[in-house]
Structure 1
Amino acid sequence: MIVITAPTGNIGRRLLSLLVEAAPAGGEELRVVVRDPARLPESVRGRVEVVTGSHGDAATVERAFAGADAVFWLVPPDASVTPEEGFSGFTRPAARAFAACGVGHVVGVSALGRATPQAARAGLVTASLAMDDLIAASGVAYRALACPSFYENLLEEAGSIRADGVFTDTAAADRPAPMVAVADIAATAAGLLLDRSWTGVGSVPVLGPQDLSPDDLARIMTEELGRPVRYRRQPLGELRSALLGHGLDEAFVEAVVAMKRAKDEGLDAGVHRAPQAAPATGFAQWCAHTLRPAVLGTREAADAR
C-alpha cells in the first residue's frame, strides 16, 4: 500500500498518474489523502482508496497510514503561518503516525542546500531541511528529494513575458544554478516508492540536465518562443515590499527573502549529477511543451511551429 499526499498538486497529480499506470503490474494498492475528492481526475477515482481531510491533521493521517508500506510526503505551501509551523508543525502528526502505523518507507519533497554555509539561514529551505530531520527521527527509511527551483515557477511570469518580454527574479543575471521540471520530481518519487529496496536516511538530488543562469533562461526562451525575452533582476527589498503588500505573513515573507538571498549566494551550487533512470527534462524542451502554450496561447503556439 502506497499513500500519496497532495495528489492534486503539480507533483502529486503526475505521481498519482505514474503509480496508477504501474499499479496493475506491481500489484500495489494506492490510497490518497485529499481535502476535496472532486478534484481528483475522473480516470483515477475508481482505482484508488480516498481518505478525505488534511494530511496535517492527526486523525486523518492515522486513518490514512494504517496498513501503509510507503508514503509520499509533500507539505503544501502556507503563507499564513511561520515557516516552522508550515513545515515541521504541519508534519509532526504525520511523523508520529509513521511510527505508530509501522510505515516502512517515506519519500518527501524537500530542497537542496544541506551542509552548505547557507543552510542555516536560507528561510524556507532551512525550514524544509528541519522537516526532513523530523521525519528521519521517526524511524522510517527516508529519502528527501532535494530539489532546486522548478521550471514551473516561470509560469507565474507568463503574463509579463507575453506583454513585455520580461521575467523577474532576484538572482544575479550571470549566476548559473540547477532547475528542474516537476515531472522529473514525480518520476523520481515513483521509482523510489515502487522499488523499496533502499534503507536508512538520505537525500536524492533531483536536477535538470544543466545549470542555467537567468541570462541563459532568457536566451532559450527567446529561441523557443520566437520573440525577445529579457531578464530583470528584482532587488530583495522590492520583493519584500511586494509580498507584504499582498498581505502575506511577515515571517513567511522574510523566509522567502532569506531563501532568495541564499540561492544567490550559491545555496544550490556544486551538486553532483548522478545518472538517472530516465533523461532529465531540458529547459528548451519544457519551454516548447509547457511555457510556449502558456505565453502564446495554444492555437498561436501551434500556428507558430
Structure 2
Amino acid sequence: MDCPRVVSQALEPVRRRIEIVEGSHGEASVVDRAFEGADTVFWLCPPDPRAESVDKAYLEFTRSACDAIRRHGVARVVSVSALGPEDLSFNDMAQIMSEVLGRPVHYQLIALDTYKANLMKNGMSEAMAQAMADMMAAKDQGLDNAEQRTPESTTPTSFREWCEDVLKPAVLGDRLR
C-alpha cells in the first residue's frame, strides 16, 4: 500500500491534526526531523519478511525512533493492539468469519515446523519464519494473556467488527455491491 496516498486521502479532520514528513522512517535523519516538536508519535515497524535477522528487522529499525523520542522529549507513543476486547479461540474466530462471510471457514492446527516451512516456501527468510514460529509457540503458552487487558491497552474493535469492516470487503470485494 502506498502510504503517502493513504495519508493524502485522510479525512480532513485528521489531516488538520497531523504533519506529514516525507522520507523513509528507516532513515535516522528523517525520523529525527519528524519527531522534532512532537508530543505524540505513532510508530509502526513495517514487517520485513525477507530480513536475514530479527534484530535487524525490528531492533535496528526502531533504534533511531527510540533515540529521537528521548532527544525530543516525546511524551506519548501510540501503539497498536492486536488484542480485541474479548478472548476468542481460533475456532471462535473461524465461526465468526464463517458467519460474516457467509461461507464455511475452519481452523486447522498445524505443527510449528510445518508453519515455518510454509512461510519459507512463500518467500519468508529462515530467520523471520523462525521468529513467527517462536511467536506462535509463545501465544500457545499464554503470551496474549500475560497482562490483564484494560481499555488503554486493548483495541475496542471486536473481531466481528473487524471482520465486517475489513475482512469482508477484502475477501468479497466487488460481490458486495
Q: Does 1:224 align with 2:100?
A: yes
Query: Which one of 77, 81, 103 corresponds to residue 74 of structure 2?
Result: 103
Sequence identity percentage: 44
Q: Which 5+ residue runs of structure 2 have no aligned equivalent? A: none
Task: For structure 1, list consecutive stretches of 5 or more residues without a partner in the other structure.
Answer: 1-6, 9-36, 110-146, 149-206
Question: In the aligned structure 1, how far is the partner of 2:155 from the partner of 2:64?
Answer: 36
Aligned ranges 1:185-200 → 2 under 5 Å: none
- Measured after TM superposition, the shift of residue 254 of structure 1 is 0.9
Separation in 2, partners of 1:273, 1:97 = 29
Match of 2:91 among 200, 215, 221: 215
Q: Which residue is 1:288 aligned to?
A: 164
Shift of 1:262: 1.1
The reply on whether 1:88 has 2:55 as its aligned counterpart is: no
What SS does structure 2 have at the residue aligned with 1:40?
helix
In the TM superposition, what whole-angstrom CA distance separates every residue of 1:207-251 from its partner, at most 9, and x where no partner exists?
322111121122222333333222222221222112222332221
In structure 2, distance between residues paired with 1:270 and 1:101? 31
Residue equivalent to 2:9: 42
CA deviation string 1:166-215 (max 9, x = no partner): xxxxxxxxxxxxxxxxxxxxxxxxxxxxxxxxxxxxxxxxx322111121
Please report the RMSD computed on the Cα atoms of aligned residues, expressed in angstroms.
2.9
Shift of 1:279: 8.6
The reply on whether 1:257 has 2:108 as its aligned counterpart is: no
Q: Secondary structure at the match of 2:84?
A: coil
Q: How does 1:1-305 map to 2 (within 5 A)?
A: 8=3, 37-43=4-10, 47=16, 48-81=18-51, 82-109=53-80, 147-148=81-82, 207-269=83-145, 271-275=147-151, 280-299=156-175, 301=176
SS in 1 for 2:20: strand
TM-score, normalisation: structure 1: 0.49
Q: 1:271 to 1:59 in 2, by over 3 A?
A: closer
Q: Aligned partners of 2:136 and 2:168: how far apart in 1?
A: 26
Task: Name the SS for the 1:49 alignment partner.
Answer: coil
Q: Which whole-Å CA distance do the structure 2 matches of 1:212 and 1:94 have between them?
A: 33
Contact 2:94 2:106 in 1 (8 A): yes
- Deviations 1:238-289, CA, capped at 9 Å, x for gaps: 221122223322211111111111111221126423346x992222333333
Q: Secondary structure at the match of 2:108?
A: strand
Which protein is richer in strand relative to its size? 1
| Cα distance between partner residues in 2 of 1:59 and 1:40 | 21
Distance in structure 1 (CA, Å) of the matches to 2:115 and 2:165: 29
Aligned length: 171
Question: Alpha-carbon deviation of 1:39?
Answer: 4.6
**Alpha-carbon distance change, 69 to 261 in structure 1, aligned in 2, over 3 angstroms:** same
